[in-house]
Structure 1
Amino acid sequence: MTISSYGGEPKHSIDSDHTRLHELGYKQELNRNLSVLSNFAFSFSIISVLTGVNTLYSTGLNFGGPVSLVYGWVIAGTFTMFVGLSMAEICSSYPTSGGLYYWSAKLAGQSWAPFASWITGWFNVVGQWAVSASVNFSLAQLIQVMVLLSTGGMNGGGYEASKYVVIAIHGGVLLSQAILNSLPISLLSFLGQIAAAWNIFGVFLLMILVPLVAKERASAKFVFTHFNTDNGVGIHSEVYIFVLGLLMSQYTLSGYDASANMTEETKNAAKNGPKGIILAIGISLIAGWCYILGITFVVTDIPYLLSPDNDAGGYAIAQMFYDAFKSRYGSGVGGIVCLGVIAVAIFFCGMSSLTSNSRMAYAFSRDGAMPFSAFWHKVNKQEVPINAVWASALIAFCMALTSLGSIVAFQAMTSIATIGLYIAYALPSFFRVTLARKSFVPGPFNLGRYGVVVGWISVSWVATISVLFSLPVRYPITDKTLNYTPVAVGGLLVLVVSSWIFGARHWFKGPITNIDHSSSGDA
């Protein structure tokens, strides 16, 4: 891994960033005000250990328990770092808000560029919308559980919100995040740094406080060696169970492409964009493993925590925190406060996700790939892509509306948040190690001779999880137990390819310059 510079000269100034962007075909329209810390903060806040782990902790408990949680995190995290390193190397060479789809276009070669750009861009932008939808829906569900526990719990006549109340909360959360994302990037950057600090603070507070308060704790042997095979869904193969337990880790470790999407607003982007990606993954790996270890010491009865008849309605983390404080103080209020810490982290995660969404939509529409592109890439006086912000919030809300018809339909929609997004992550790396193996010109951050090896490992891992997470998760298989992930992702693939064949191939030419060559002031 080396740090070099374009043309032998280091590029530290804003003018150099503008020049590099000009070389890539774009004029500077967004306010370049982000430091490496701010760039990192957006990706770190989207990965958000407190969001992903707490949302799918029940899945990890059910499929393998502590072994899947503790060791699955290490395995998924290690391979995620390979994916991130490969992306970081490409980001350094092409630091634009378009990120993944722009990289694919440049790496696939002139003849394949339009199609490579089209398929990568749509998987990326739809995957990001799905992330915003799933993250904010999980926050709405957590708020509902907090209200339930605050009013007595399932067994004490507590208030259980209807699905319409949950979707209304989801809409209110998205509305507030869209308002925040309408602020100038300097203010949003400050909020992003607060979000990163809150995530770190929350992780270490909860991993120490909750086990300390709990009167009953699991043994180290249980945490590091217990493998739960009693999942109640007809799956008995330990390998199969462990694979399904990986979903929590892989779902959490996504969204770090935000650092690439924010590069046109980042100083010294060719170095700081890649640093943002790697730092976000690396710090999340360490913080996440510590958090998983800490809270798993509170697990003493897995069937009880997963039971829909407990006070939290089967929300394992909520029940764990509630019981820990109730056993010590006779009241679960402290546990509800801890859930509030998680809720704030999830809110910040959704806010940062919407930021990344809007920049991706702005860039993709700038190249004419989206319907009504002229509307999507409008930038206001504060140099914020305001229409992309509000449109992305609206689409995320509409995706969550599927939960009103069927929670299965919503789960299928949000499965794109993991598999669909990772497919978009892998495509540029695939083109880099195949079509562009000899022509790729690295930027200041590069992996040297290991770049191709790392690229192949990342592509192979994404191909593997795409298959594994499409496997059935319950037997016997019926319309209510079918894993709709391959249906959702396959459906998206069919739509994207069909739209290309029957329309876009005639007019979409890939990334296009927006520089007026008749003037010299754009750079």
Structure 2
Amino acid sequence: MEAQNGYSPLLAGDDHEAIHATGAGDEGDDVKLRLLGYKQQLKRDLSFNVVGQWAVTTSVDYSLAQLIQVIILLATGGKNGGGYLASKYMVIGFHAAILLSHAVINSLPITFLSFFGQFAAAWNMLGVFVLMVAVPTVATERASAEFVFTHFNTDNGAGIRSNLYIFVLGLLMSQYTLTGYDASAHMTEETKNADKNGPIGIISAIGISILVGWGYILGVTFAVKDIPYLLSPDNDAGGYAIAEVFYLAFKSRYGSGAGGIVCLGVVAVAVYFCGMSSVTSNSRMAYAFSRDGAMPFSSVWHKVNKQEVPINAVWLSALVALCMALPSLGSLVAFQAMVSIATIGLYISYALPILFRVTLARKYFVPGPFNLGRYGVLVGWVAVLWVATITVLFSLPVTYPVTKDTLNYTPVAVGGLLFLVLASWLLSARHWFKGPVTNLDG
């Protein structure tokens, strides 16, 4: 379901991206939209994209820091064997070190980034294939096909017994994993034949993610039988479910979970490269915003060095991602609310230009080399309606009974961001922001 509906925003976005990757098309479209009353401040998606991008980087690198915490715990004996559990301050330290390394790598010339990107793609493909085969093969007990495809875990400790509700909440993680396919759009100014290769990059990213991700989930799920135990804080991994799956699979067969720790290392490297790519995308988005004069101190962030890398935007992105993780020291609820912008905020940013494409610009939209033809408007509406639907669904409570500690603060976080953006526009930006700056004459 996620795969089918997830393609709608990306295809509709491709229809839009193919024209906006070219200077002449961009300028002509802007003129027509202005005549229709289109506000230029919406061209950059109400800032949901750049904030959502930072939230994604925060969530990815913080997840890696937590994974490192669990790897250390298991490598030193596990929770039940006297293993070392790093404190929340150590986790923030891991997070900071990861972001520092990502900022350093992203400060290198684009040729180095290209190498790391290709290596990351190969690592992900090979690593996922190894895991999806090795884990269920090693496991001494395997789940049945009926369990894998029909079982709903109602013993989840969240007070949720409805299969339909569990299904709806399960969409969130799937939707999150499909997030970020707009990275190709942010890199178009450094891409050859961007009006064609940009959309192709977006489509291929989602297609590969669907196939490989589905295979990985199947492989892991067939190695799972006792879900409540995997979620229990009393197991060796301290309740970190996927770590316990890997660790238990090898320990049950060989008497040692070392092989499971190696598997977690494979995952950790993949997550590391994901965070690296997120910083790359963040920095290009921040650069584009600041080039248009839409960010505080824009003159600082839109500068590039001799290697044509937006160096200041790179370090800004790493710093913001670090700051967004600091609330976790005081309250995981506050941190989770902030990170929730990663999914909802980004998909809102995807949907806004598509909405304008199928409404205000429907009769005036000039398609680029890559376009959906007569299906563009239909796919666009499906995308907009899907994003509207998941925005509501992902604002529902995820734990019952609902208290101040279990309340889903996503609507508060997203609504607060919307309020700040609109207030900024009304009080200040509408007086000086003229819209995107085009790089090409045409």
TM-score (norm 2): 0.96
Pairwise CA distance, 1:233: 2.2
Aligned partner of 1:260 in structure 2 is 185
Aligned partner of 2:131 in structure 1 is 206
Pairwise CA distance, 1:239: 1.5
Q: Give the Cα separation in 1 of the matches to 2:384 and 2:126.
A: 34
* Counterpart pick for 2:9 among 68, 83, 87: 83
Aligned partner of 2:82 in structure 1 is 157
Give ranges in structure 2 of 5+ residues lacking alignment.
none
Q: Give the Cα separation in 2 of the matches to 1:233 and 1:165.
A: 28
* Counterpart pick for 1:216 among 133, 141, 150: 141
Pairwise CA distance, 1:476: 1.7
Aligned partner of 2:386 in structure 1 is 461
Contact 1:104 1:113 in 2 (8 A): no
Q: Aligned ranges for residues 406-445 of structure 1 at < 5 Å?
A: 406-445=331-370
Aligned partner of 1:66 in structure 2 is none
Aligned partner of 1:314 in structure 2 is 239
Pairwise CA distance, 1:234: 2.3
Identity of aligned residues (%): 71
Pairwise CA distance, 1:95: 1.1
Q: Give the Cα separation in 1 of the matches to 2:311 and 2:255.
A: 49
Pairwise CA distance, 1:131: 0.4
> What amino acid does structure 2 have at the position aligned with 1:184?
P
> What amino acid does structure 2 have at the position aligned with 1:88?
D
> What amino acid does structure 2 have at the position aligned with 1:390?
W
Q: How large is the Cα RMSD of the aligned pairs? A: 1.8
Aligned partner of 1:113 in structure 2 is 39
SS at match of 2:340: helix
> What amino acid does structure 1 have at the position aligned with 2:66?
Q
**2:436 is the alignment partner of 1:511:** yes
Q: Give the Cα separation in 2 of the matches to 1:103 and 1:481.
A: 49
Q: Give the Cα separation in 2 of the matches to 1:419 and 1:104.
A: 27
Q: Aligned ranges for residues 136-151 of structure 1 at < 5 Å?
A: 136-151=61-76
* Counterpart pick for 2:117 among 192, 199, 202: 192
* Counterpart pick for 1:446 among 357, 360, 371: 371
Pairwise CA distance, 1:121: 4.8
Aligned partner of 2:166 in structure 1 is 241
Pairwise CA distance, 1:510: 1.2
Contact 1:102 1:511 in 2 (8 A): no
Q: Aligned ranges for residues 393-408 of structure 1 at < 5 Å?
A: 393-408=318-333
Pairwise CA distance, 1:219: 1.0
Aligned partner of 1:356 in structure 2 is 281
TM-score (norm 1): 0.82
Q: Give the Cα separation in 1 of the matches to 2:167 and 2:156.
A: 11
**2:79 is the alignment partner of 1:172:** no
Q: Give the Cα separation in 1 of the matches to 2:347 and 2:154.
A: 28
* Counterpart pick for 1:340 among 265, 289, 296: 265
Aligned partner of 2:401 in structure 1 is 476
**Deviation sequence 1:462-521 (CA, Å, 0-9, x none):** 000000000011122111010011111111001001111111111112113467x8xxxx
SS at match of 1:427: helix
> What amino acid does structure 1 have at the position aligned with 2:9?
V
Contact 1:104 1:116 in 2 (8 A): no
* Counterpart pick for 2:107 among 177, 182, 190: 182
Change over 3 Å in CA distance of 1:463–1:371 after alignment to 2 = same
**Deviation sequence 1:270-323 (CA, Å, 0-9, x none):** 100000000000111111111111110000101100111111111111000000
Aligned partner of 2:214 in structure 1 is 289
Aligned partner of 1:93 in structure 2 is 19
Pairwise CA distance, 1:150: 0.6
Pairwise CA distance, 1:221: 1.4
